Amino acid sequence: MASAYQKGLAGAQLLGAYNEGLFFAEAHKGAHNESFFLELTKQRFDEIYAACEGCLSSFALAPELLKSPDMIRYITDKGVRVMLGHTDANFEQTTQALAHGACGGVHIFNGMRGIHHRDPGCTGALLMDSDAMVELIPDGIHLHPSIMNMVYRLKGADKIALITDCVSAGGLQDGRYRLGELPIVVEQGVARTESGSLAGSTLTMEVGVERFYNLTDASLVEATNMASLVPAEFLNKAEQIGSIAVGKQANFALLDKDFSVQATICAGKQIF
């Protein structure tokens, strides 16, 4: 990741590294291999941070596993955004983590304790915190459309980042693939582990924007910004990217009315 960040890529721009793994709870492991899970220490974080050579932008963890919430402040003081995910944290533990500097939730509802009317859980805490940004997978599979719309109504257009969570099977036919070392099966475009857990998606971003727009009350401008400007603002890069404006980098895609990509411009050059 550090090498690609420094040398650049053809046809894309790497904005940073997002560490999602190792420091999670088995109860919500998703497609992660729990045999690799570790206790998060300053030494382990420092090793990851050093290996990234300046490109580590976001770091996901299960807050209930921390010996001290001060670990969150330690990470954020290095300019890395802390995200909460693959966690069994309750409402109070999540609220405490947010108070110590965590700033969002990994693919909301998925990989975290959900909402119960007597236990709002991690999901409820993230939805009720006005400052927390939440990732959302808008494939219509990870979240029911009505839940997608509920998140939109609670968080608003400025606190949702649309993500694909796309795996190596994206854009390919149904069949057997691998997610890291785990075998996964894709049927009707849905990726699952052999045990039946969702294993990322085969979603592409333009399809995600289309589905969120068609399945919720969001406007097309709002849905588009959730896939571009909101993430750029979250990474403190909105002055350079995230929208089309004088002085910004020319990074954008041209879509037709059917949301089919007609052209892609990266750093002012037509790539596709």
User: What dihedral do alpha carbons 91, 94, 100, 106 form, nearest 10°?
Assistant: -150
Q: Which amino acid, residue 173?
A: Q
Tokens of 157: 């257009």
> Catalytic pick from 131, 158, 165, 256?
165
116 backbone dihedrals φ, ψ, rounded to 5°: -125, 150
Cα gap 226→162, rounded to integer Å: 5
Per DSSP (E only), the strands in the chain are: 17-19, 56-61, 81-84, 104-105, 133-136, 160-162, 175-179, 182-187, 190-193, 252-255, 261-266, 269-270
Q: 124 with 98: CB under 8 angstroms?
A: no
Q: In the chain, where does DSSP find H-type helix?
A: 2-7, 42-52, 70-76, 91-99, 121-128, 145-155, 205-215, 220-226, 229-234
**Is residue 119 annotated as part of the catalytic site, yes or no?**
no
- Pick left, alpha or beta for residue 27 (phi over 0 → left; psi -120 to 50 → alpha; otherwise beta): alpha
261 backbone dihedrals φ, ψ, rounded to 5°: -75, 125
Enumerate the active-site residues: 165
